[in-house]
């Protein structure tokens, strides 16, 4: 099958989870090409429409798969090929983007939601699936803490907490994370910003740190949590997106009931005391969130929309 993936390219790259999903689809024997959108808002995206139509004419895909609601709406401005749109959370949770996503839902041949929380907001009644994005399961995720720290040039005797994003993204709520860290009595503790690392370095970092801390204002189905689980990294998070569903019952993973720094600090203390790797990797595998299985489920959706 020929699949054209449409997504934002404003940072001169596609989001890693989009590329990983595309690679998984390619490994199933599909022909994959990408169309990167540049510009802000629908008005900015509209400038890309002639190029999209040209790309579709040249590549002649069986299906167009758009990521995020605004990309889905844009992809539907052509009506020659069916569009599958995946909604990742911000396009549902942010009020200024929701109207565009609702239009995309109406026009798309199929809609994919990555968490129940996002589905609960829009309450779709037809042509939809719940399918979180998967991750690649690898041997690198099994690396021990000492080796990972050596490779990432981290002190063997310090405590490290990995912040689940970059500080400059407001939705990640870095001020709360820093407040949480300030409430811990441990002096030999450092909060690390998740920014500027390659994918393999992120994996090694997750094997090296003592815990992952997520304080986001909203999320869909955060990849960083699934990646951390596959590495056996303890997790402390606020209750956003599908984090509770993913981590519930996994020892060493804690979800706060509030956004209060005191509660989060207490849970982080527990996470820092956790010894060894969590059983998060097995949870990810049992939940069928390996990219290969997610790609197989996407193929079922593609076959459905192309037949109809």
Average pLDDT, the chain: 96
CB atoms within 10 A of CB 202: 18
> pLDDT tens digits for 196-246?
999 999 999 999 999 999 999 999 999 999 999 999 999 999 999 999 999
| Burial 114-150, CB ≥16 within 10 A → b, else e | bbebbbebbebeebbbebbbbbbbeebbebebeebbe
- Structure tokens given for 292: 């290969």
- Structure tokens given for 283: 């949870």
pLDDT at residue 259, as a whole number: 97
Q: Give the span between the Cα atoms of 189 and 156, in whole angstroms.
A: 12
pLDDT at residue 121, as a whole number: 93
pLDDT at residue 43, as a whole number: 86
Mean predicted confidence (pLDDT) in 277-292 = 96
Q: Give the span between the Cα atoms of 55 and 34, in whole angstroms.
A: 9
Q: Give the span between the Cα atoms of 278 and 142, in whole angstroms.
A: 11
Mean predicted confidence (pLDDT) in 37-49 = 90
pLDDT at residue 291, as a whole number: 96
Whether residue 183 is predicted with pLDDT greater than 90 in this model: the reply is: yes
CA within 13 Å, CB half, 58: 9
Mean predicted confidence (pLDDT) in 277-284 = 97
Q: Give the span between the Cα atoms of 36 and 24, in whole angstroms.
A: 19
Whether residue 303 is predicted with pLDDT greater than 90 in this model: the reply is: yes
CB atoms within 10 A of CB 230: 25
Whether residue 130 is predicted with pLDDT greater than 90 in this model: the reply is: yes
Whether residue 41 is predicted with pLDDT greater than 90 in this model: the reply is: no
> pLDDT tens digits for 147-159?
999 999 999 999 9
Residues making up the chain, counted from first to last: 308
Residue 205, φ and ψ in degrees, nearest 5: -65, -40
Whether residue 40 is predicted with pLDDT greater than 90 in this model: the reply is: no
**Is residue 90 within 8 Å of residue 68, measured between CB atoms?**
yes
pLDDT at residue 12, as a whole number: 85
Q: What is the pTM assigned to this prediction?
A: 0.91
Structural domains in the chain, CATH included, are 2-134+290-307 (3.40.50.2000), 139-286 (3.40.50.2000)
Whether residue 308 is predicted with pLDDT greater than 90 in this model: the reply is: no
Q: Give the span between the Cα atoms of 256 and 215, in whole angstroms.
A: 10
CA within 13 Å, CB half, 162: 27
> pLDDT tens digits for 60-74?
999 999 999 999 999
């Amino acid at each position: 099958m020929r699949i054209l993936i449409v997504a934002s390219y404003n940072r001169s790259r596609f989001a890693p989870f989009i590329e990983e999903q595309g690679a998984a689809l390619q490994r199933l024997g599909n022909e994959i090409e990408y169309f990167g959108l540049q510009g802000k808002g629908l008005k900015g995206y509209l400038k890309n429409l002639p190029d999209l139509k040209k790309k579709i004419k040249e590549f002649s895909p069986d299906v167009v798969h758009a990521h995020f609601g605004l990309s889905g709406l844009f992809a539907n401005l052509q009506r020659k090929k069916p569009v599958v749109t995946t909604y990742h959370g911000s396009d549902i949770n942010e009020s200024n983007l929701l109207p565009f996503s609702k239009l995309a839902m109406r026009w798309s041949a199929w809609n994919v939601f990555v968490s129940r929380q996002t589905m609960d907001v829009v309450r779709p009644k037809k042509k939809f699936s719940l399918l979180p994005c998967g991750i690649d399961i690898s041997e690198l995720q099994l690396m021990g803490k000492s080796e990972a720290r050596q490779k990432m040039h981290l002190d063997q005797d310090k405590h490290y907490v990995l912040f689940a994003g970059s500080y400059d993204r407001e939705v990640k709520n870095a001020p709360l994370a820093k407040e949480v860290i300030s409430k811990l009595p441990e002096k030999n503790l450092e909060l690390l910003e998740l920014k500027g690392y390659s994918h393999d370095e992120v994996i090694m970092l997750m094997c090296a740190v003592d815990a992952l801390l997520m304080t986001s204002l909203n999320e869909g189905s955060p990849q960083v949590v699934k990646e951390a689980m596959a590495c056996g990294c303890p997790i402390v998070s606020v209750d956003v997106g599908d984090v509770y569903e993913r981590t519930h019952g996994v020892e060493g993973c804690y979800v706060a009931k509030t956004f209060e720094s005191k509660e989060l600090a207490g849970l982080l203390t527990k996470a820092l005391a956790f010894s060894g790797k969590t059983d998060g990797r097995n949870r990810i595998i049992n939940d069928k969130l390996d990219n290969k299985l997610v790609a197989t489920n996407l193929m079922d959706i593609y076959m459905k929309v192309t037949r109809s």
